[in-house]
Amino acid sequence: MVREAWVRLAQEGNKDALAKVVTSIQDDVHHLAMRMLVNPDDALDAVQDILILVITKLSTFSGRSAFKTWVYRVAFNYLISAKKSKERDPGLSFSFFEQDLAEGLGKEEADDPVLLNELRVSCTMAILLCLDREHRAAYVAGFILEMTHDEAAEVLTISKANFRQRLSRARRKVDDFTRRACGLVSAEADCRCPRRLPKAMALGRVQQGQTCFTSGDSESYASVIQRTKRLEAGLRSVALQQATKRFACPRDFAAAIDALVAAP
């Protein structure tokens, strides 16, 4: 049975169909929340809130757009506008992040491939936190989820022209920062993951045996370096952002569907 059929049954009150609907979207919602919020605990909390919204608003889905598009519209709206989402935002800025990178460079280098990859991904994802939520959402929709401009404009509930402007501004800011600050993108940048890793470990930002952002299916640190070197300069920052794993939801919310339905 296709998802739209499950949706129709769920709208009629079928709990088994509702559980199937939740199962079919929870990974997509979690991946989006991770790219918008970065912090795994914050992302998981947001996923639960978004799924509750999807369930409570399900009767309003009319089928005029694809169900996944509708879900993304609910999710983006929450991640951009909800009070809890705003409170989770660390308020990071490009200038602060650049200073933090400069101060975190040591003279010695570390060569642990697993932790280097963890540092690479966590730092790459944190870059997007320097964008305000509206521009971050445009960047995630356009370059991470790779939506068409029509779909992205629909899920963000803005005009296509407005989306293009936000996407262009967001990309320019991310490109400018990575060219100045990231050695994976620019040979002129001072920051190198091997030089940054020792202090990151000392501060507890990455820890031996604990990886939040990488796993066995993640692209390796060495592979990302080689791939970005082969790209034109203008494509490197986008490639770096895309070189992260897809974040599957670590909790099966469909198994707790009764609790979700009953949640306030």
Residues 6+ apart with CB under 8 A from 70: 61
- Numbered ranges of CATH 1.10.1740.10 in the chain: 3-89+248-262
**Model confidence pLDDT, tens digit, residues 100-112:** 999 999 888 999 9
58-93 pLDDT per residue, tens: 999 998 899 999 999 999 999 999 988 888 888 899
Averaged pLDDT of the chain: 93
Tokens (6 digits) for 114: 């697993």
Going by C-beta distance under 8 Å and a sequence separation of 6 or more, which residues neighbour residue 66?
A: none
* Residue 136: closest CA among 83, 95, 94, 102: 94
Secondary structure (DSSP) of 156-193? TTS-HHHHHHHHHHHHHHHHHHHHHH-TTT-TT----H
Assigned fold of 3-89+248-262: Rna Polymerase Sigma Factor; Chain: A (1.10.1740)
pTM of structure: 0.94
pLDDT tens-digit map of 191-243: 999 999 999 999 999 998 889 999 888 889 999 989 898 988 779 999 999 99
Q: Counting every residue, how long is the chain?
A: 264
Burial of residue 35 (CB within 10 Å: 0-12, 13-18, 19+) is buried
How many other C-beta atoms lie within 10 A of the C-beta of residue 259?
Answer: 11
